[in-house]
Every structure is written in C-alpha cells, then in structure tokens.
Chain A
C-alpha cells in the first residue's frame, strides 16, 4: 500500500509535456539575490525567442536554503543551486536548447563528490514527508495551479457531503493538535466554539509568528496560501462562523501580499463570499497586519490587537471560544494547523493518523537553522528523532565542530544537549525534557555557542516583549536578565543559580499569560543541562565557548600542565600559583587577561575559551 505522502507526491509530478522553470521565491532565496537570477533568466529566454514556451514561475520555499538561490527545470525536475545571474545564459543554452543537464550547477556533496539531479535523490529531502509543504516549491501559489492538485476539493466535500458536526468529528478523530505551540487538540477547540452561543462567530488564523527562528507560517502563507484559506473556510463552516481574519506580522510584507491576492482569487471563484459553491454557506476573509509584539501570539492578546488597541493579554477563562473578538465566540488556529485541514477532510482521519505517533499524529514543519550544514524548512512525521533532523537531513555540523545543543520552541522553549539526540520530536517528549514544541523553530548550536549567553539572549527578548501588565513577568524577567548579565560579565555568584531558579518558579506560577509562564524555560533548561557552563563562568571567570568577551581570561588546561612554573614567573599580577607535581592555577580575581602566560607556556597548556577555533564559523 502506498503511504499518503507517496500518493500526494505522485500527484505532483507534472505531465511530460510541461516545460517550465520554477524559481524559488522564498524569503531566504530572495535575500540571496533570486530576483536578479529571475530577471536574467527571463531576458535570456526572451532573446532566444523562448519566452512563451518556457514560462518562469516563482514558487514558495523549495527548501535547502543553504544552497540558494535555486530553481527546478521541468519536465525533468532537475534542480540547480547557488545560482548567480550569469548562470542564466548557461541554463538556457545547455539545458533548455540542447537538452543537456548543466552538471556544474547541480548540488555536489563536498565529501562524497556525488552530484544530485533531482530533489528526491538528496539526503535533505529523502527523510522528509512534505504534507503541509505539499505545494511549497512545487506548485506556484495561484488558484488555478492549486486546483490542479485537488485544491478546494476538501471544501466541496465538506460543504456538499458533510454536516458541520461530521467535519468536527473527522478533525477530532485525526488527533490533530495546534501547530502554533501549545498542542491543544484542534477538534476539541472547534467543538467548543461551535457549542458556544453567539449571534455571529469568527475564525482567526494566527500568523503572528513572533518566535525568532521560526518561519514556516510565513513560508506557507507565501508558498501555498490557498491551503490556509481552504482550511479556514472549512473551519468557518464547522463552527458556524461567517467572518475570518488572517493576522499576519508586518515584518512579513510578502506573506501579506500573497494572502490578499489569494483571497481575491478565491472570491472570484466563489470559494469565498455569499452562497459558496451554491451550497448556502457564506464566509469571507480579511487580512489584519500586526505591528510587532511577541505577546500578540497569545490568543487573548491577539484579539485585543485585532480590536486595534494594545495587545494586552487577559485572563482565561473565558476562552476565546466562548468570548473572543468583540465578545463573540472566536476560533483561533495557527497557519500550519489550518493547512493540515484540507488533507484530513480529503483523505480522512485514518490515513492522517498513519503518520506520527499515538497522541502526536501527522507531521510537523521545523525551521532548521543555526550551526548546521543544510538549513531551511523540513517536514517530518511527529516523533522523528532529533538526530535524523540534525544529521540525515541537516547534514551535521559544519567545519568539523561538535554538536552542542538544539534549541526548540524559541523564547518559550529550551535547549537540549547531546544526550537528547535520540529524543522523539513530538509535543509530549519535548515537554518532558523541559523544552517545548513551540511553533517549530529548531536552532542548532555548536561548541562556539555559549549557553549562558543564549539564556541571556532569550531573557533580553522576553524582558523587552513583556507587556508589563502583571508584576511577576514585568519585574521577574528584568531581575533574571540582570542576574544573567552579571554572570556573563564575570560578576556572578554561586547563589545566583538558586535565585534564578526561584524567580523562574515565581514566573511560571504567577504570570497571567503564556509569555511569562514560559519565559523561564530557556534558563531552566540550560541550568538543567549545562550547569557546568554557568559554574565555569562564576567560579573560574571562564567562558568555555569564548563568547562572553568580559571573560576572556586565560585558563590552565590541567591535563596539559607540567607544573614548570614559567607562567607564574611572567605573570605581572601574581595571579598564578602552584607547586611541582600538581597543575598550576590562575586566580580569576587577580588576573588582568594580559595573556603573557599563554605566550610563555611551552606546552600550550593555557588558553582562553573558544580560542582554539577562533570565530571563523561566525561568518
């Protein structure tokens, strides 16, 4: 039997006759100059009189952004990478005109020298199951293209063959959980919204992807907006709403544009508006643009922001399902959650559940970034081990460095060390390990990343984004940040660790909304898994990664020290002491970081943190 993924992928192989070029227009590729490649390509085709026969279409994120800008030439499906405008002439001359694959523009594995012609051959794609991303990078984001691949067929089925209750039942059966972070069962949320009394109801698509390091919602809205619209219309039908809103961050202008274009296209086809498909259901969608506030990802804050005021969160209950936008029942679902809906309705809950694990069905899109060879959006069944993501798909850590940690869930999540490489990536396993799924940001860190500094980085973020309404969050994040700054500057005390822990508990238990309740996670998880790094900062005034510049003091590497005493003799601050037979010691309180001891030591037994691999890779 073929899996759902194989079936969907097979549908998307274009017919033999279709000659066209799909160019990645995802944001990372745009930032690497794909627009200039597109212009050059169009010019080249035009001057060869091929403009009509070989259209160039922009698609959403193709993936493996580390090799961008990229494009795929159909019908063969040959994928070219790292393109510069001057490559356009070669592609047109050799591939399009002479029908010869341009070998030097294919991706070549630097270790095995293997060249890859098609996506399916590459390790980056082989372990992926691209259900939510089914159209991203393969199908241009327009309605006529979307409909070629059974687009809006799920909507037609829901409206024509199913009652709202049956739709809700199907979603409940699928076991789909909210992809925005919390993992609340989607079907249950729909049921609660349907049951709530109200003269009208709203469906809000939460596209306020504020987690730094996550960009799947943006890429879905840009690369496949119709799957989100279709999900929203079905949700509207199921809960009894007639108005939908897509709340998008203003930092994502292209996602705003694409959503608006898609809405206009869907209205024209009568998938939106009055009497949809002449089946008696009315529903329309508007786009609302956020103005930059992380807390607006929180449901209650998002609602006040849509109402045009400060995005202050409120207490729950009442839940938005009962009393949401303008006091009316409101269903809030994340972009990725909604993009799953058409699949579930079209293929049925049972087939959806074939993927993932019990209680964690389906797939999850992760935004793989940081210190990993291949970066970009990757989609895998829930429960896939972290190792598969980092090594099989991501290709491991560049520059021969060691994996140190994976950060999941952004500022609300945590850092998992090497011993967690085999953790199944699902909601429950991540929560148990002290992190969380969050929206799916996955930042890989190597030995050059200081975990104390990362905790400080996140607290700096949450402290700045705290709305200030409740005291534990407003004051607590500030105090925690001060302590972390103290430690990274070499002025920490051992009692600070206990203070951090106490404050963390206070925030977790005392804050009103999810921002404050999860703000301590980066601190708690690094304290749990990387306590020795905190202690190195405090006790030895030493930053093992060499990131905290205030701590760039030398340290004696005990295993290399032969206790010759040369260092103690040159030290102008008399900070080095020791005796024969035991390693010498530097007193951090006296050391002035002049580094003379490093120069003097004949055994290379003195070093500053991270100096062995100077910051070459930061570039």
Chain B
C-alpha cells in the first residue's frame, strides 16, 4: 500500500470513529459533516458517501445539506486559507482592493489553490469585526485594518511559518 493510500485510510478510520457518537441520534447531520470537514479539510464525494452510509441517511440528503451551507466545501483548499471578509463595512472600506491584491500576488482566483498547495483564496461572509474593517482572515486568525501594501509582507511571513 502506498503512503498516500495509508494516510487516507487513517483519515477514514478517524471519521468512522468520530461518527460513532452520532449514530441513532436525530438532528446531528450538520455537526457530523462539520467534523468530517475538519478531518479531511473539505468534503469530497467519497466522504459524503461514507457519512451517508455510517449514519444511514440518504446521500441526496447529505448532499442537499452540504450544498446549502456556505461553510461546507467540496473543493480542496490550500494549507493556509486566505479569506477576504465581504461584509458591508469591509466592502465600503475597500475589501475589493484587498481581493484584487491577493489575486495579483498569488496569481489565483477565489476558490483556487496555488501550485505549491500552500495558499487558497476566497471571500467570506461577515466575520463580525466590522469596526476593524477591512479584515483578512488567515486560517482562524483575523487581520484588521488591512491594506493592499501589507499583503506582500504578510504572505512572506506566512511562507516562513
């Protein structure tokens, strides 16, 4: 068995274990999918099938939930997720400029991953830090009062981490 396949099998074992506590309970699908996304980073079709089988929920229902909520992703993301907040305060304070800056620096569009797999960029719904707008989210970390010229140095710093 290749290394990759072994790593994948380990992830599925973790998922099976994690799903154990949800079996036979009602109203748990969203929480189960959130946990699955934490394990895999995103929700490919195979993972959705696995969740459906384990929880005996039709795949169509699993997919309907995954496609409904904006926090579920069926596409892989970079190891560092860069998200530009598109709330109103950030928008009027220049969020579009930030997004443009990220696209220029990294050469990818929202929803895409850089070739080295390090960064992906996206827009996000209001993160609730409106008084520090515009805000850039790096993984779970927020960077307030961002400017176009701070993007370059920040990316350099992130590469060093």
Q: Which of A245-267 contact B (CB under 8 A)?
A: 250-253
B12 in the interface (beta carbon within 8 A): no
Contact B126 A212 (CB under 8 A): yes
B74 in the interface (beta carbon within 8 A): no
Contact A371 B126 (CB under 8 A): no
Q: How large is the interface on A (under 10, 10 to 19, 20 to 34, 35 or more residues)?
A: 35 or more
A514 in the interface (beta carbon within 8 A): no
A214 to B87, CA, bound (A): 9
Shortest Cβ distance from residue B127 to the other chain A in the assembled complex, whole angstroms: 6
B31 in the interface (beta carbon within 8 A): yes
Shortest Cβ distance from residue A600 to the other chain B in the assembled complex, whole angstroms: 30
Contact B27 A307 (CB under 8 A): yes
- Which of A73-81, A135-143, A289-297 has 4 or more CB atoms under 8 Å from chain B? A289-297
A215 to B124, CA, bound (A): 15
- Which of A236-244, A362-370, A420-428 has 4 or more CB atoms under 8 Å from chain B? A362-370
Contact B65 A28 (CB under 8 A): no
A410 in the interface (beta carbon within 8 A): yes
A206 in the interface (beta carbon within 8 A): no
A27-B127, A65-B131 known; A293 vs B89 contact (CB < 8 Å)? no
Least CB separation from A448: chain B residue: B92
A212-B87, A213-B87, A375-B131 known; A251 vs B124 contact (CB < 8 Å)? yes
Shortest Cβ distance from residue B35 to the other chain A in the assembled complex, whole angstroms: 11
A290 to B69, CA, bound (A): 9
B70 in the interface (beta carbon within 8 A): yes
Contact A370 B28 (CB under 8 A): no
A-contact bits for B59-103, CB 8 A (1 contact / 0 none): 001001100111110000000000000111101111001000000
A308-B28, A310-B65, A310-B68 known; A28 vs B93 contact (CB < 8 Å)? no
Contact A307 B142 (CB under 8 A): no
A210 to B87, CA, bound (A): 10
| Residue of B30, B91, B126, B132 touching A308 (CB-CB under 8 A) | B30
Chain B residues in 8 Å Cβ range of A285: none
- Chain B residues with a Cβ closer than 8 Å to the other chain, count: 43
A200 to B97, CA, bound (A): 52
| Residue of A214, A291, A376 touching B71 (CB-CB under 8 A) | A291
B114 in the interface (beta carbon within 8 A): no
Shortest Cβ distance from residue B145 to the other chain A in the assembled complex, whole angstroms: 7
Chain B residues in 8 Å Cβ range of A291: 30, 33-34, 65, 69-72
B147 in the interface (beta carbon within 8 A): yes
A-contact bits for B129-142, CB 8 A (1 contact / 0 none): 11111010000101
Chain B residues in 8 Å Cβ range of A250: 34, 71
| Residue of B26, B29, B89, B140 touching A213 (CB-CB under 8 A) | B89
A66 in the interface (beta carbon within 8 A): yes
Shortest Cβ distance from residue A308 to the other chain B in the assembled complex, whole angstroms: 4
**A interface, over-half SS:** mixed
A32-B132, A308-B29, A310-B64 known; A369 vs B89 contact (CB < 8 Å)? yes
A251-B128, A457-B88, A619-B148 known; A369 vs B133 contact (CB < 8 Å)? yes
Contact B92 A449 (CB under 8 A): yes
Chain A residues in 8 Å Cβ range of B97: 618
B9 in the interface (beta carbon within 8 A): no
Chain B residues in 8 Å Cβ range of A212: 86-89, 91, 125-126, 130
Shortest Cβ distance from residue A207 to the other chain B in the assembled complex, whole angstroms: 11
Contact B132 A292 (CB under 8 A): no
B-contact bits for A19-34, CB 8 A (1 contact / 0 none): 0000000011111100
A158 in the interface (beta carbon within 8 A): no
Chain A residues in 8 Å Cβ range of B28: 308
Shortest Cβ distance from residue B31 to the other chain A in the assembled complex, whole angstroms: 7
Shortest Cβ distance from residue B57 to the other chain A in the assembled complex, whole angstroms: 9
Q: Which of A343-370 contact B (CB under 8 A)?
A: 367-370
A81 to B70, CA, bound (A): 36
Chain A residues in 8 Å Cβ range of B143: 31
B-contact bits for A453-473, CB 8 A (1 contact / 0 none): 010011000000001000000
| Residue of A305, A375, A618 touching B130 (CB-CB under 8 A) | A375
Contact B70 A31 (CB under 8 A): no
B-contact bits for A281-301, CB 8 A (1 contact / 0 none): 000000011111110000000
B41 in the interface (beta carbon within 8 A): no
A65-B132, A291-B34 known; A619 vs B92 contact (CB < 8 Å)? no
Shortest Cβ distance from residue B108 to the other chain A in the assembled complex, whole angstroms: 21
A65 to B143, CA, bound (A): 14
Q: What would 9 A/B residue contacts be, using CB atoms closer than 8 Å?
A: A28-B129, A212-B126, A213-B126, A251-B124, A290-B69, A291-B65, A292-B69, A306-B27, A441-B88
Shortest 6 CB-CB distances between A and B: which pairs?
Answer: A31-B144, A65-B131, A212-B87, A291-B69, A31-B142, A215-B128
